Amino acid sequence: MTNMNVKAIALRARQAAPTLGLLSTERKNAALEAMAEAVLKNKTLILSANQKDLRSARQKGLAASLIKRLELNDAKLRGIADSILLIAKLDDPVGRVIQTVSRPNGLVIQKVRVPIGVILIIYESRPNVTADCMALCLKSGNSVILKGGSESLHSNAALYRVMRAAAVSHGVPEGALELVMSTDRAAVKTLLGLSDLIDLVIPRGGEGLIREVARISKIPVIKHTKGICHVYVDKDADLAKSEAIVVNAKAQNPAVCNAMETLLVHESVAKAFLPRAAAALRDKGVELRGCEKTRAIVPGVQKASTKDWTTEYLDLILSIRVVKNFEEAVQHIETYGSRHSDAIVTENKQAAEAFTRAVDSACVFVNASTRFADGGEFGMGAEMGISTDRLHARGPMGLEELTSYKYVVLGSGQVRK
């Protein structure tokens, strides 16, 4: 794919943005419903495209876990369609008045949500990301440029084509939904230089991809990097709650960014808590690695090194550290954490409040599992991912986080003195 083609794609997206931004909620919802229907109607076409990707994945010897993520089937297509319908049902953020201020001189100043403009999504493997991103960007009034991974090229293209045709037939401007059909790395580099045409880049995938995009990009990037999440069991913790939270945070879905990677336990409850927690975790197949104090309490725990404190296992492995006090727990999180999601378990209100103030993470939990750090669980309905950045959007990103705002100032002839 030549640079010219890539630029033409970005230009089409840019030119479609103003029209898309003014589409009524009704029209966008009708388009979304048609897109969901189109996914189900064109099942055979999409699944046969997916088979092509699966064949070449097997030929290339891709890992079984990756092949599983790549695979589509009836149930997954139903899930994709349901997810689009859910986005259709969410409130439209565009045009929402966030704030109104009346000034002494009679000016009325409204802060109104508007689309960001053109959003580039660079992602890997899972074809459902194609559908989610198209639906989220359309609902929030943003033109989207999709650049998926080569391993899901045919699946992405098939989903894209049927969804786009449905959207366009409902009045969505053609350029509003663009897909870069290229496995060429140069295409990505060209795209990431088009800061006059593209407003925002969201990379979704492994840490390597995300860091590389951030390094090259001339366009603002919102990163969704790793989650080294902690649960701290305080001296005043309810140990039954602690056990349930710890098991859930680690084992309910260990492959995701909001799963716990390190357990911190106050030394005054370590002897009472660690044996029961270890048993419950091992019951779920979790491998334990720990500090010396942990190993003295729980037999058979492998020794944890500094590397364990900084590793996102994304697997049934947990590192455990016994801390002297609250401050050491907070310090550990500050030093080794990734400021994603961290939890305290305590019945002590002061400790809970101190933790939520001192721990500088996107999501700070008191007496709840870190697994709740999720757009759906936060009531956003659907999410674009979980931002580990601090600007514009932090934590789960829903439709609102895909908007900017403008000030609309209503006067009656006011001039400045």
Closest approach, Cβ 98 to a second copy, in A, equals 10
Only one of the segments 81-89, 125-133, 311-319, 402-410 lies at the binding site for a second copy (rule: CB under 8 A); that segment is 402-410
Closest approach, Cβ 412 to a second copy, in A, equals 6
Closest approach, Cβ 282 to a second copy, in A, equals 18
Which of 395, 397, 398, 399 binds a second copy (CB under 8 A)? It is 395
Query: Could you tell me which of 194, 137, 195, 164 has the C-alpha nearest to residue 20?
Result: 137
Rounded Cα distance, 333 and 345, in Å: 15
Closest approach, Cβ 65 to a second copy, in A, equals 21
Closest approach, Cβ 131 to a second copy, in A, equals 24
Specify the residue for token string 């440029």.
Answer: 145
Query: Could you tell me which of 396, 330, 391 has the C-alpha nearest to residue 359?
Result: 330
Q: Between residues 117 and 227, which has the closer beta carbon with respect to a second copy?
A: 117
> Rule CB under 8 A: is residue 192 a binding residue for a second copy?
no
Tell me the C-alpha to C-alpha distance, in Å, between residue 52 and each of 303, 337, 342. Answer: 45, 40, 41
Which of 220, 235, 315, 316 binds a second copy (CB under 8 A)? It is 220
- The secondary structure of residue 390, as a DSSP letter, is S
Only one of the segments 62-70, 95-103, 274-282, 299-307 lies at the binding site for a second copy (rule: CB under 8 A); that segment is 95-103
Q: Between residues 122 and 247, which has the closer beta carbon with respect to a second copy?
A: 247
Q: Which two tokens stand for residue 361?
A: 């993470």
> Rule CB under 8 A: is residue 18 a binding residue for a second copy?
yes
> Rule CB under 8 A: is residue 412 a binding residue for a second copy?
yes
Closest approach, Cβ 60 to a second copy, in A, equals 34
Give the SS3 label for residue 221.
strand
> Rule CB under 8 A: is residue 415 a binding residue for a second copy?
yes
Q: Where are the alpha helices (DSSP H) in 169-235?
A: 185-191, 207-216
Rounded Cα distance, 130 and 179, in Å: 9
Residues 222-251 that bind a second copy (CB under 8 A): 238, 240-241, 244-245, 247-249
> Rule CB under 8 A: is residue 208 a binding residue for a second copy?
no
Q: Between residues 265 and 352, which has the closer beta carbon with respect to a second copy?
A: 352
Specify the residue for token string 């037999």.
Answer: 299
CB atoms within 10 A of CB 102: 10
Rounded Cα distance, 274 and 298, in Å: 7
Give the SS3 label for residue 40.
helix
Per-residue binding letters, 362-381, with a second copy (x by CB under 8 A): xxxxxxxx-xxx---xxx--
> Rule CB under 8 A: is residue 391 a binding residue for a second copy?
yes
Q: Is the dihedral of CA 71, 144, 192, 398 positive or negative?
A: negative
Q: Which two tokens stand for residue 323?
A: 């801390």
Q: Between residues 162 and 210, which has the closer beta carbon with respect to a second copy?
A: 210
> Rule CB under 8 A: is residue 100 a binding residue for a second copy?
no
Which of 37, 212, 312, 334 binds a second copy (CB under 8 A)? It is 334
Per-residue binding letters, 142-181, with a second copy (x by CB under 8 A): ----------------------------------------
Rounded Cα distance, 383 and 269, in Å: 37
> Rule CB under 8 A: is residue 25 a binding residue for a second copy?
no
Q: List CB contacts of 57: < 8 A, sequence separation 6 or more.
A: 66, 67, 70, 151
The answer to whether 395 and 363 have CB atoms below 8 angstroms apart is: yes
Q: Between residues 302 and 350, which has the closer beta carbon with respect to a second copy?
A: 350
The pair phi, psi for residue 169, each rounded to 5°, is: -65, -15
Q: Which residue type is seen at 87?
A: I
Q: Between residues 2 and 325, which has the closer beta carbon with respect to a second copy?
A: 325
Q: Which two tokens stand for residue 376?
A: 């759906």
Q: Which two tokens stand for residue 160?
A: 């894209």
C-alpha neighbours within 13 Å on the C-beta side of residue 3: 6
Q: Between residues 62 and 198, which has the closer beta carbon with respect to a second copy?
A: 198
Which of 39, 116, 187, 304 binds a second copy (CB under 8 A)? It is 116
Q: Which two tokens stand for residue 351?
A: 């400790």
Residues in the chain: 417
> Rule CB under 8 A: is residue 24 a binding residue for a second copy?
no
Residues 31-70 that bind a second copy (CB under 8 A): none
> Rule CB under 8 A: is residue 392 a binding residue for a second copy?
yes
Q: Rule CB under 8 A: which residues touch a second copy? A: 18, 21-22, 95, 101, 103, 107, 109, 112, 114, 116-117, 199-200, 215, 218, 220, 238, 240-241, 244-245, 247-249, 252, 334, 352, 356-358, 360-369, 371-373, 377-379, 389-392, 394-396, 404-416
